[in-house]
Structure 1
Amino acid sequence: MAGAGNRSSTSLTTAEGAPVEVRRSARRRRTVAAFWENGTAVVAIPAHFSGAQEREWVQRMLEKLRAQGTRGRKAAGTRRAGSDAELAAHASVLSAKYLGGRAVPTSVRWVTNQNSRWGSATPSEGTIRLSHKLQPMPQWVIDYVLLHELAHLLVAAHNAAFWRLLAAYPETERAKAFLEGVSFATARGLPAGVDDVGNPANDVDAAGELEDAAR
């Protein structure tokens, strides 16, 4: 279990307008961490930090989070699909790249009422729905779920033919492991974060963190 700590919301926001929360932890001695949690940028600092140290390190770690996001978007080679129209357009790109363009959905949308699964497809109607809970996750994870549902438009069952379709996507196994880690953490009430290389976090106190040493 995570150790006790103090949490405080601040008037700060990230460059994108997301709220910032500072967490002081007695378990931390010389390290500062930053990570995303439910749309909030969280900066974890040692409990003994002065106000000046807090301000300095919060700004420094927010810059790291911002840089991480920029690198991730460049590495993905695409802008995150935020709207339904963008998501549908991105689905067409993925279908063409990995499925030979054979999966042609009639509708692709984000939904907020899908809490028990990441995505769903209705082959008879050609529709795909993705949970809004995917939106903060790495693009390669979103792409996997979207490809998974696109593949279901071609093969309804999770059989060998279905998995052969997904074998073309190089991040399939990594994304499956990522989502399993998130589900495991969420089921136990733990923060399900993402670390700086996009892997499920293991540290209960600092999930998904970018960490630096305070000197």
Structure 2
Amino acid sequence: MQPTDDLSQVEVRRSRRRARTVTAWREGDKTIVAIPARFTRAQELEWVRRMMTRLAAQERRRRPSDEELAARAADLSTRYLGGRARPTSVAWSSNQGRRWGSCTPSDGTIRLSDRLRGMPRWVVDYVLLHELAHLLHAGHGPDFWAELDAYPRTQRARGFLEGVAYAGDRAGADGPSDVDGVDGDAPSDVDDAIDDDAAAMQATDVAVALEPEDGADEPRDGVVALDGAPVGARTAPKARVRR
């Protein structure tokens, strides 16, 4: 999750067809903010910061805590591994480098990259199961993959992660790229297509609709003139969160 004052990884996309909405979402390491083409530079900066704040808040609500992550791991172990995988510690980590997750069988610890935050739950579950399976099998042999076959979304999750890694590599992002090697082996080819539409890459997004408000004399919080002209007798758009 990016702090709201760090705009170095933000890409602003202007569209003449976009007149009444501002939308923000994540694409790999980048944050995309789509705005109307008529926004001034000042309005662009205002809305980028506003949408970054909303997006970060939404991701915080969606991201489980370390305790919830550990409870999820225990549930997944019971459901798909017969309860045989029993980690001593499961937590988020910011130093996973190009790995989505890691497992240390010698002490039973599992760490998941915080780059997974905001991704669909079934993708996070797959990475958790991948690391749990390493408590039972150190390598990626047939027995290891047989354990993961029990999870019905294994191939779909692998395809999703391949797509994220591919997009990040094309953009030059220094993010995780391993899928066969969720925990650090050589990355596999992009051989599993993401079967969702483009929104699948936008696991977390925020949209704000701009609607007219009559009689506004001065811009207020949530009110901004689309063309940058003074807000007077004409209408001005007001921010309304669309869920």
Q: TM-score, normalised by structure 1?
A: 0.62
CA–CA distance in 2 between the matches of 1:176 and 1:33?
Answer: 31
CA–CA distance in 2 between the matches of 1:208 and 1:111?
Answer: 20
CA–CA distance in 2 between the matches of 1:160 and 1:132?
Answer: 29
CA–CA distance in 2 between the matches of 1:209 and 1:85?
Answer: 25
**Residues 98-177 of structure 1 correspond to what in structure 2 (within 5 A)?**
98-177=80-159
Give unmatched runs, 5+ long, in structure 2: 176-193, 211-243
In the other structure, the counterpart of 2:218 is none
How far off its partner does 1:29 sit?
A: 2.9
CA–CA distance in 2 between the matches of 1:161 and 1:198?
Answer: 34
Matched residue SS, 2:200: coil
Matched residue SS, 1:45: strand
TM-aligned CA distance change 1:134 to 1:154, over 3 Å: same
**Residues 1-80 of structure 1 correspond to what in structure 2 (within 5 A)?**
23=12, 25=14, 28-31=15-18, 34-37=23-26, 43-48=33-38, 80=63
CA–CA distance in 2 between the matches of 1:178 and 1:151?
Answer: 20
The residue identity in structure 2 corresponding to 1:146 is: L
How far off its partner does 1:23 sit?
A: 3.5
CA–CA distance in 2 between the matches of 1:124 and 1:167?
Answer: 25
How far off its partner does 1:41 sit?
A: 7.4
Matched residue SS, 2:201: coil
The residue identity in structure 2 corresponding to 1:34 is: T
How far off its partner does 1:48 sit?
A: 2.8
% same residue: 55
In the other structure, the counterpart of 1:200 is 201
Paired residues, number: 173
TM-aligned CA distance change 1:33 to 1:167, over 3 Å: farther
Give unmatched runs, 5+ long, in structure 1: 1-9, 12-20, 74-78, 202-206
RMSD, matched Cα: 4.2
Q: Which of 1 and 2 has greater Rg? A: 2
User: Which consecutive segments of 4 or more residues in structure 1 shift more than 3 A?
Assistant: 21-24, 38-43, 194-198, 207-212
The residue identity in structure 2 corresponding to 1:150 is: L
Conserved in 1, the CA contact under 8 Å of 2:87 and 2:132? Answer: yes
CA–CA distance in 2 between the matches of 1:29 and 1:148?
Answer: 44
Higher mean Cα deviation, 106-115 or 31-40? 31-40
Q: TM-score, normalised by structure 2?
A: 0.55
